[in-house]
Amino acid sequence: MKIGVLGLQGGVYEHVYMLRKAFEEEGIHGEAVVVKKSSQLEGLDGIIIPGGESTTIGIVAKRIGLLDPLRDAVKEGLPAFGTCAGAIMLAERVTDRVVGEKKQPLIGIMNVEVVRNYFGRQRESFEIDLEIEGVDGLFRGVFIRAPAFTKAWGSARIISRINYNGETVGVVAVQGPHLATAFHPELTGDTRLHRMWLRSLKV
């Protein structure tokens, strides 16, 4: 199995590390590669879009001619796992808590609406134990200027939620082979979500 990690900005090597750990724990003969150009999309069984800054990732990907091939590959069935900014990249609809509707380059494959910086300034970063469908026990969610899923339609499904300021919002979404988390599972050393995604890939 060969999994790419989009390597333009953000927590790239944390995901490479988590993938290698997850391969080992699952007994998968796997390879993790950092993807910086479209030719490296060839032969991948899945791609991780890391956290960082979604506008930067989108703008750089577009500038170097990687965004369209990446979007095409995902639309043609390449499974994607996006964390935080990566989840924003996968969403079809994006708004920003502060500036409202955002026009930014996206992959836009998942039937979800995401609000960037949902938790605002006061709670820029926090950690919370989450219940996630399909994951046994609690999962420590590390949220850093995190987004939240405010709507899901079509074949997207929210599989974890939290309550914030009287509202219930989604923090994990799935759609077929695609997985998106508002938080950073690559920062805790807990590979359960990486493993869940890898197991869902029919390779």
* Active site amino acids: 84, 184, 186
Binding flag, residue 51, ligand GLN (CB under 6 A)? yes
Q: Which of residues 114-133 bind ligand GLN (CB under 6 A)?
A: 116-117
Interface with ligand GLN, residue 54, by CB under 6 A: yes
Q: What gap in Å lies between CA 94 and CA 97, rounded to an integer?
A: 10
**Among residues 7, 52, 79, 185, the one that binds ligand GLN under rule CB under 6 A:** 52
Nearest Cα neighbor of 181 from 136, 133, 141 is 141
Least Cβ distance, residue 1 to ligand GLN (angstroms): 25
Using CB under 6 A as the binding rule, whether residue 9 contacts ligand GLN is answered as: no
Report residue 146 as tokens.
């995190």
Site membership for ligand GLN, residue 88 (CB under 6 A): yes
Instruction: Verify binding: residue 105, ligand GLN, rule CB under 6 A.
Output: no
Q: Does 62 engage in binding with ligand GLN (CB under 6 A)?
A: no
SS3 57: helix
> Is 12 or 144 the residue whose CB approaches ligand GLN more closely?
144
Candidate ranges 20-28, 39-47, 48-56, 150-158; the one touching ligand GLN (CB under 6 A): 48-56
Q: Does 85 bind ligand GLN (CB under 6 A)?
A: yes
As a dihedral over the C-alpha atoms of residue 87, residue 33, residue 62, residue 117, rounded to 10 degrees, the angle is 20
Distances (CA, A) of 16 to 3, 32, 108, 118: 9, 6, 23, 27
State yes or no: residue 84 binds ligand GLN (CB under 6 A).
yes
Site for ligand GLN, rule CB under 6 A:
51-54, 84-85, 88, 116-117, 144-145
